[in-house]
Structure 1
Amino acid sequence: MEFLELPKRTTGNRTYGLTSVIDLGTPLEELKSILNDYSSMIDIAKMGFGSAYVTPNLKEKIELYKRYNIHPYFGGTLFEKCYHQNKIPEYLMSLQDLGIDYIEVSNGTLNIPLQERLDLIAQIKKDFCVIAEVGSKDSNKEMAISQWKDEIKQFLEAGCQYVITEGRDSGTAGIYEKNGNVKGNLISELIKDIDSKKIIFEAPTPKHQMYFIKEVGANVNVGNVKLTDVLVLEAQRCGLRSETFYLEDSECKLPL
């Protein structure tokens, strides 16, 4: 069906309007079925937290994602575990052996100094597409809006392709209050001063996703999307749900 006037979505090898899913152990055969139908709606696949290290059929899963032109990568917690045990060189070698070309540099669990993260990005950006994450997984840790802006800008200037705003898979930390509400003032300030095409907003529930679609536009970059919610998200982006019903091309705030 192609007779409705809907917000124009980016397609193909997108550089924005990204949907980044979180894979928390989807069995290989089930994943094949999901990607057979919905792969065109997915751009990036994160194997959540450190789960990639114990994922059965890891190589096959990576190859499956790549077959559908989806970029697989491992969660930032695995990066932090390797950093904590001084195993970053081994980690990088493993990624290359597996054919992974995306890497997340985060400090959601550890307090890794900003300069150390920037130095590491400078070293690895020639071999990987680097995604940095800003924000803590600890809901009791608060960052000033100015610090959010400063870190995001420094990561982009250092050569990161994208920066993720921490939200956890629960939507209760980072850019969210403990009760799951979005920190609206923070988001408003971020998209005012920074190119939102370079930010991936972690939004693990349809409610969170609708917020960013309405605030940023149909082609907002959204992360931590459950594989089972991919179709729901795409329908929301296209104004095909009550909460985004009146979203029109003129309201797609990211210029095409």
Structure 2
Amino acid sequence: MEFLKLPKRTTGDRSYGLTSIADFGTPVGRLISILDDYSHIIDIAKMGIGSAYITPNIQQKIDLYKEYQIKPYCGGTLFEKCYQQNKITEYLAYLKKLGIEWIEVSNGTLDIPLEERLTIIERAKEDFHVIAEVGSKDCDLDMSISEWQEEIQIFLEAGCEYVITEGRDSGTSGIYEKSGQIKSELIDELIKGIDPKKIIFEAPTAKHQMFFINQIGPNVNLGNVKLDDVLTLEAQRNGLRSETFYLEEQNANYINQAPAH
């Protein structure tokens, strides 16, 4: 019986309000137990770093995610490893063989020229849904706000479904300071000129997640979420934690007010 007034959440095969989890090698048996209960609040599953390449039961894991209507894809580090070794053609064939329909194009570790990334995106989008990532894993590299805005816009105009803002699984680079502090001015400026429904903000901790929920709304797209945290995150989105308690009353952002999709 539902009797509380909660923020309106997108549901089903939604295009925003996404929870993208990071799977760093969850055993299949345990994964089945988690998905049995929580698959309805997980949209995307990233097999983190380059772990997919050495996962012995990778096909079983991919098929499992797809069975639960979750979109699996490989972390950007594997893409960059293939780029470094001039194996992009083999990588695309590998993804197709596994039945993976999404691909991440990133430059978190390597400094891949923008034009080269755009060329790869143009090639990849013939067979895949493309997600581009902006930002570096090197916490000493700092992009200006205008550079962030420009790259994100370029990737969206190039046909990427979403753009991920780098944050690492530690929350210490990209949109975060070394200390883990959120670059709030950067986030404020990004969402002024770019539709936040097209951005997936990497938010590996509850503190990071609650910032974005309060700043953008319960239907903000969040990535690098730990599997064990998906229910807590959904509670936070629904104003069922102290730090997001008054979310429904505030209801100020248009993402909060968006109808279910």
Contact 1:218–1:252, Cα closer than 8 Å, also in 2: no
Give the TM-score normalised by structure 1. 0.99
Taking the TM superposition and a 5 Å limit, the aligned residue runs for 1:156-235 are: 156-235=156-235
Unaligned runs of 5+ in 1: none
The answer as to 2:110 corresponding to 1:116 is no
Contact 1:167–1:203, Cα closer than 8 Å, also in 2: yes
Which residue number in structure 1 is paired with residue 239 of structure 2? Answer: 239
Unaligned runs of 5+ in 2: none
Which residue number in structure 2 is paired with residue 62 of structure 1? Answer: 62
Contact 1:203–1:223, Cα closer than 8 Å, also in 2: yes
Deviations 1:137-159 (A, max 9, x none): 00000000000000000000000
Tell me the CA shift for residue 58 of structure 1: 0.4
Contact 1:21–1:225, Cα closer than 8 Å, also in 2: yes
Identify which range, 120-129 or 165-174, moves more after superposition: 120-129
Contact 1:236–1:244, Cα closer than 8 Å, also in 2: yes
Which residue number in structure 1 is paired with residue 252 of structure 2? Answer: 251
Q: 2-side partners of 1:210 and 1:55: how far apart?
A: 32
Q: Residue 108 of structure 1 aligns to which amino acid in structure 2?
A: G
Q: 2-side partners of 1:55 and 1:110: how far apart?
A: 23
Q: Residue 161 of structure 1 aligns to which amino acid in structure 2?
A: E
Q: Secondary structure at the match of 1:86?
A: coil
Q: 2-side partners of 1:94 and 1:126: how far apart?
A: 15
Which residue number in structure 2 is paired with residue 31 of structure 1? Answer: 31
Q: Residue 97 of structure 2 aligns to which amino acid in structure 1?
A: D
Contact 1:219–1:252, Cα closer than 8 Å, also in 2: no
Q: 2-side partners of 1:242 and 1:252: how far apart?
A: 19
Which residue number in structure 1 is paired with residue 8 of structure 2? Answer: 8
Q: 2-side partners of 1:123 and 1:222: how far apart?
A: 27
Tell me the CA shift for residue 126 of structure 1: 1.7
Identity in percent: 70
Q: 1-side partners of 2:102 and 2:122: how far apart?
A: 14
The answer as to 2:83 corresponding to 1:86 is no
Identify which range, 49-58 or 11-20, moves more after superposition: 49-58
Tell me the CA shift for residue 252 of structure 1: 4.7
Q: 1-side partners of 2:126 and 2:146: how far apart?
A: 29
Q: Secondary structure at the match of 1:117?
A: helix
Q: 1-side partners of 2:236 and 2:44: how far apart?
A: 19
The answer as to 2:40 corresponding to 1:47 is no
Deviations 1:87-130 (A, max 9, x none): 00000000000000000000000000001101111111121000
* Equivalences, count: 256
Q: 2-side partners of 1:88 and 1:95: how far apart?
A: 11
Q: Residue 227 of structure 1 aligns to which amino acid in structure 2?
A: L
Q: 2-side partners of 1:123 and 1:96: how far apart?
A: 14
Which residue number in structure 2 is paired with residue 130 of structure 1? Answer: 130
Off by >3 Å, runs of 4+ in structure 1 = none
Q: Residue 226 of structure 2 aligns to which amino acid in structure 1?
A: K
Q: 1-side partners of 2:31 and 2:245: how far apart?
A: 30
Q: 2-side partners of 1:125 and 1:145: how far apart?
A: 27
Q: Residue 251 of structure 1 aligns to which amino acid in structure 2?
A: A
Q: Secondary structure at the match of 1:90?
A: helix
Q: 2-side partners of 1:38 and 1:167: how far apart?
A: 24
Q: Residue 90 of structure 1 aligns to which amino acid in structure 2?
A: E
Give the TM-score normalised by structure 2. 0.97
Q: 2-side partners of 1:252 and 1:48: how far apart?
A: 31
Which residue number in structure 2 is paired with residue 147 of structure 1? Answer: 147
